Amino acid sequence: MRNFIQFLVKNSFVFLFLFLEVIAFALLINNNNYQNSKFFNSSNYLVGNLYESVSNVTDYFNLKTTNSELAQHNAELLSVNINSFTKIYGNTILINDTSYFQKYVYTSAKVINNSTNQRENYITLDKGAINGIKPGMAVVNSNGIVGIVKNVSPNFSSVISLLHQKMSISGKLKKSEYFGSVIWDSDENNHCTATLKEIPNHVDIQNGDTIVTSGFSAIFPEGLPIGTVQYFDVPKGSNFYNIIIELTTDFKQLSHVYIVKSLQKEELDKLEALTQEDVN
């Protein structure tokens, strides 16, 4: 111990130098966007790989629930398969490949990092640009919606979770088709709930009503479950409900998700931008 102290005293000038440099670099990385992004990008690459190997191990613990979820989802898919429908149009002939065309493409991905207890939560997935993932795609799982892809690297993608301050998703009441925005605020909601706003107060609502995606933004397919009404009231002096919904997705247990690519989004965005331009 004495030798150690002697060593510290002997080299105190070097240690003071290192100490001041550490302060300088801490200031540098925290206050300058460019250096910050450089630093965190390289560390993200390391951490991303680390998370993946950790998740490779922990996945085994969830195998049972995941399996049953997948089996259930398979069953659901089979039930909507075209083969399980009988044609009801007596003598008209339906040619599948011209009357239907594909609007959404699904890619399955594994969650390798996830947070639920921050004000701004992010999820990391093991699919990236080389799998055709682009920013702005929707992420869902078999129970409901999960988030929107924010950034992609070649092998990973970072998703803004629904549990994020700045996230806002267009949702509608399945029963009455009235739509509003689903937002999440860490002060009001926990990881199981979100808030639905902008529903006018003359609409009839019951606890347990289902809220689904409206499909207006073309990011999320229409009709995916978001949650059910848990509690609602009308704030004094307001014309709109404040509705707390219980999310159908369990964000604490996310492990397999689907990334949804909308084949029509580009066309739709282009058209809407054009209309806006004409009006202005």
Partner 1 sequence: MLIDIIKHSTRFLALLLLQGLVLNNIELNDYINPFLYVLFILSLPLNASKYLVLALSFVMGIAIDTFQDTLGMHTAACVFMGFLRPYILKILEPRDGYETNFSVNIADMGMKWYATYVVIMVFAHHLFLFYVESFSFSQFFSTFGRALVSTIFTLLLISITQLFYYKPSKKRR
Smaller CB distance to partner 1: residue 23 or 271?
23
Task: Compute, in degrees rounded to 10, the torsion defined by CA atoms 19, 22, 23, 24.
Answer: 120
Count of residues engaged in binding partner 1, rule: CB under 8 A: 21
Least Å distance, CB 62 to partner 1, is 39
Q: Rank residues 21 and 267 by Cβ distance to partner 1 and give the closer one.
A: 21
Nearer to partner 1, 27 or 50 (CB): 27
CB 26, min distance to partner 1, A: 7
Q: How far is the CB of 43 from partner 1 (least distance, A)?
A: 13
Candidates 7-15, 65-73, 179-187, 199-207; binding stretch for partner 1 (CB under 8 A): 7-15
Residue 12 CB, nearest approach to partner 1 (Å): 8
Q: Rounded CA gap, 143 and 228, in Å?
A: 12
In whole angstroms, the minimum distance from the beta carbon of 122 to partner 1 comes to: 23
- Name residues contacting partner 1, limited to 135-154 (CB under 8 A): none
Q: Which is nearer to partner 1, 10 or 134 (CB)?
A: 10
Q: Residue 37: helix, strand or coil by DSSP?
A: helix
| The token pair that represents 44 in the structure block | 């993200």
Of the pair 24, 78, the CB lying nearest partner 1 is at: 24
Ordered alpha helix ranges (H), 32-62 = 33-58
Q: How far is the CB of 7 from partner 1 (least distance, A)?
A: 18
Q: Please, are residues 171 and 196 in contact by the beta-carbon 8 Å criterion?
A: yes
Identify residues 8-37 at the interface with partner 1 (CB under 8 A): 12-14, 16-17, 20-21, 23-32, 34-35
Subset of residues 36 to 65 that bind partner 1, contact rule: CB under 8 A: 38-39
Burial class of 274 by CB neighbour count within 10 A (0 to 12, 13 to 18, 19+): exposed
Burial environment of residue 233 by CB neighbours within 10 A (0 to 12, 13 to 18, 19 or more): exposed
By beta-carbon proximity to partner 1, the closer residue of 43 and 264 is 43
DSSP state of 155: S
- Measured in degrees and rounded to the nearest 5, phi and psi for residue 114 equal -155, 140
Locus of tokens 């799998």: 131
Q: What is the DSSP string of 259-280?
A: EEEETTHHHHHHHHHHHHHHH-
Contact positions vs partner 1 (CB under 8 A): 12-14, 16-17, 20-21, 23-32, 34-35, 38-39
